[in-house]
């Protein structure tokens, strides 16, 4: 497949990712330039590296630097990381032509399809996860579970105690729960 066609495929794919999936679902405007920029930058770097005589170490080093710079500059949630790496993968695929010619657009479509399904708002819509700081040091797991159930107004599925502070009388927990249907 010709390089201009792959560039068009990448532009279409990243625009679908950012403006068709990410922004309508998450409304985080500050991620738009990051997703678009990293995709186009990686597309350009990959195209350059595949057409020049460089060693693999340099290419991997550049890829690593791009990832570290963005991931260290601001805390990202798991969903933002997924979109970020999807933008990276799309740019990488478009910049490195592979055989057969249809494989690149097919892989791009598969990635977008996976993101569409995996981040769909209706997929496990009643499942939630929160990190809570409680104003009591809970040692008894049953008591903690009952307290969390009343706080989240739902069925507690998993509790991960992050810290129990007996001096300051507090507990930090990550709780995964299913909302009650009447509370959504």
Q: Would you say residue 69 has pLDDT above 60?
A: no
How many domains are there within the chain? 2
Q: Are residues 138 and 166 in the same domain?
A: yes
Q: Are residues 17 and 82 in the same domain?
A: yes
**What is the rounded average pLDDT for all residues in the chain?**
87
Q: Are residues 21 and 88 in the same domain?
A: yes
The answer to whether the CB of 39 falls within 8 A of the CB of 88 is: yes
- The mean per-residue pLDDT over the stretch 33-39 comes to 92
* Structural domain boundaries enclosing 20: 3-118
Q: Are residues 153 and 92 in the same domain?
A: no
Q: Are residues 108 and 48 in the same domain?
A: yes
pLDDT of residue 184: 44
- The mean per-residue pLDDT over the stretch 98-106 comes to 91
pLDDT of residue 183: 46
Q: Please, which residues have CB within 8 angstroms of residue 170's CB and are 6 or more apart in sequence?
A: 133, 134, 135, 136, 137, 163, 164
Query: Tens digit of pLDDT for each residue in 146-157?
Result: 999 999 988 999
Q: Would you say residue 78 has pLDDT above 90?
A: no
Q: What is the pTM of this model?
A: 0.73
Among residues 83, 118, 153, the one where a domain terminates is 118
Report the C-alpha gap between 40 and 111 in whole angstroms.
17
């Amino acid at each position: 497949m010709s390089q201009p066609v792959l560039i068009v495929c990448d532009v279409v794919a990243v625009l679908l990712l950012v403006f068709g999936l990410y922004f309508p679902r998450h409304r985080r405007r500050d991620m738009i330039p990051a997703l678009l920029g990293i995709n186009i930058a990686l597309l350009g770097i990959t195209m350059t590296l595949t057409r020049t005589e460089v060693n693999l170490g340099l290419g991997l080093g550049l890829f690593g630097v791009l990832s570290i710079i963005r991931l260290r500059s601001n805390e990202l949630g798991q969903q933002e990381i997924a979109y970020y790496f999807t933008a990276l993968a799309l740019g990488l695929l478009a910049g490195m032509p592979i055989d057969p010619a249809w494989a690149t657009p097919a892989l791009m479509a598969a990635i977008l399809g996976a993101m569409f399904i995996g981040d769909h708002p209706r997929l496990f819509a009643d499942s939630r996860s929160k990190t809570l700081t409680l104003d009591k040091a809970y040692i008894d797991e049953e008591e903690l579970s009952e307290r969390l159930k009343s706080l989240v107004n739902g069925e507690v599925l998993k509790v991960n105690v992050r810290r129990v502070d007996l001096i300051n009388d507090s507990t930090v927990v990550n709780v995964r729960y299913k909302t009650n249907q009447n509370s959504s």
